[in-house]
């Protein structure tokens, strides 16, 4: 992947959830992407935390690269005003296009789709298929149960202790931004 700027893939909810802190963090992170000069790579939806992140990134001047499967264009209100929009045929293709066009992965709060995306890139990392940094934004401890599950998987012998080293955890947008700065050089 040859590019002169850094791209951050953001996986997150197509819902805002019930905690207003998640919505605020999504907006703050979208703006932070622009301040840092990083391109947002995301699921191209204009709803939930996806929409919050993208609108904030665009308003602050960031490049935006959205990837959405055809069957979700209406449901997720696919944004048409992005710097670049790719429409795929499948969810798997969406994840792949997002991944190959990014230098780092960030997972904001989300549901089953965000968990699927997180575990796929974590598995690829575990298998040595990439070395991209992978961050969880743990706003108000949202991902703490997931982190406990990862520890449980390790304790039960289903993963090596090194699995936990593939995931960096940030409790705030400033901590996440600083971690990304270090990881992206």
Tens digits of residue pLDDT in 64-115: 999 988 877 665 655 667 788 888 888 889 899 999 999 999 999 999 999 9
**pLDDT tens per residue, range 105-148:** 999 999 999 999 999 999 999 999 999 999 999 999 999 999 99
- pLDDT over 70, % of the chain: 94
- Helical H segments across the chain, by residue range: 20-36, 48-59, 91-100, 112-126, 144-155, 173-184
> Within a domain: residue 2?
no
Instruction: State how many domains the chain has.
Output: 1
The pLDDT value given to residue 75: 58
SS (H, E, C) 22-56: HHHHHHHHHHHHHHHCCEEEECCCCCHHHHHHHHH
> Within a domain: residue 163?
yes
> Within a domain: residue 12?
yes
- What Å distances lie between residue 26 and 31, 137, 139, 143, 148, CA to CA? 9, 9, 10, 15, 23
The pLDDT value given to residue 37: 96
The pLDDT value given to residue 3: 45
> Within a domain: residue 1?
no
- Provide the 10 A C-beta neighbour count for residue 20: 10
> Within a domain: residue 65?
yes
pTM to 2 decimals?
0.93
CB 5 within 8 A of CB 39: yes
> Within a domain: residue 123?
yes
Say how far apart CA 161 and CA 165 lie, in whole Å: 8
> Within a domain: residue 53?
yes
Instruction: Determine the length of the chain.
Output: 185
Burial zone of 37 (CB within 10 Å; 0-12 exposed, 13-18 middle, 19+ buried): exposed
User: 70 lies in which domain range?
Assistant: 7-184
Say how far apart CA 107 and CA 136 lie, in whole Å: 5
The pLDDT value given to residue 1: 37
CATH label of the domain that carries residue 44 = 3.40.50.450
> Within a domain: residue 15?
yes
């Amino acid at each position: 992947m040859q590019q002169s700027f850094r791209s951050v893939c953001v996986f997150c909810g197509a819902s805002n959830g019930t905690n207003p802190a998640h919505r605020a963090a999504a907006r703050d992170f979208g703006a932070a992407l622009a301040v840092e000069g990083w391109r947002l790579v995301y699921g191209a939806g204009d709803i939930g935390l996806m929409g919050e992140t993208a609108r904030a990134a665009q308003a602050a001047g960031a490049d935006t690269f959205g990837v959405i499967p055809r069957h979700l264009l209406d449901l997720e209100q696919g944004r048409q005003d992005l710097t670049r929009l790719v429409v795929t045929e499948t969810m798997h293709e969406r994840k792949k296009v997002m991944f190959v066009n990014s230098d780092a992965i960030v997972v904001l709060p989300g549901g089953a789709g965000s968990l699927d995306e997180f575990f796929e890139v974590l598995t690829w990392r575990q298998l040595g298929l990439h070395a991209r940094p992978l961050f969880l934004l743990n706003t108000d401890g949202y991902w703490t149960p997931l982190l406990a599950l990862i520890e449980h998987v390790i304790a039960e012998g289903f993963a090596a202790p090194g699995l936990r080293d593939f995931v960096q955890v940030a409790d705030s947008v400033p901590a996440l931004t600083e971690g990304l700065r270090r990881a992206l050089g």
